[in-house]
Amino acid sequence: MTIDWNHFTPWASLIGGLLLGLAAALFVLVNGRILGISGIVGGLLRPRAGDASWRLSFVLGMLLAPLLYMPLAGPLTATVDAGWGTVVLAGLLVGLGTRYGAGCTSGHGVCGLSRLSPRSLVATICFMGAGFVVVFLLRHALNA
């Protein structure tokens, strides 16, 4: 096994994790709601009176943040080692899991675990375990 040290980013990862934790904590303190992206976006699909504006603002902020960050960091690049079919299938499976698990990685993994929610612990173990199995099967067992 070799380690690609170009992808070892402890400081950026630490800062990103701290910012995500801070955002989740502030969101629950200010709004009294869990910072779960699937729930926020799902609420846009079935809006309630006076509820859509903050949800839309949140989603737009997530989409615009990289554009605001680029002047500081330069162009953002991402490499996805998969074809479009795989990416679409993966997205659909994540959406299905999010629906089935009544929440997403941010809702259960970040916010739920920090609240010591047993349901979120089970959900996080399930989605992390499923991810480990899929990566092992595709990358190691099937060499896909």
Question: How many Cα neighbours within 13 Å face the side chain of 41?
Answer: 15
Q: Which parts of the chain register pLDDT below 70?
A: 1-6, 144
pLDDT given for residue 46 in this prediction: 85
User: What whole-number distance in Å separates Cα of residue 28 and Cα of residue 50?
Assistant: 18
19-30: per-residue pLDDT in tens? 988 998 898 899
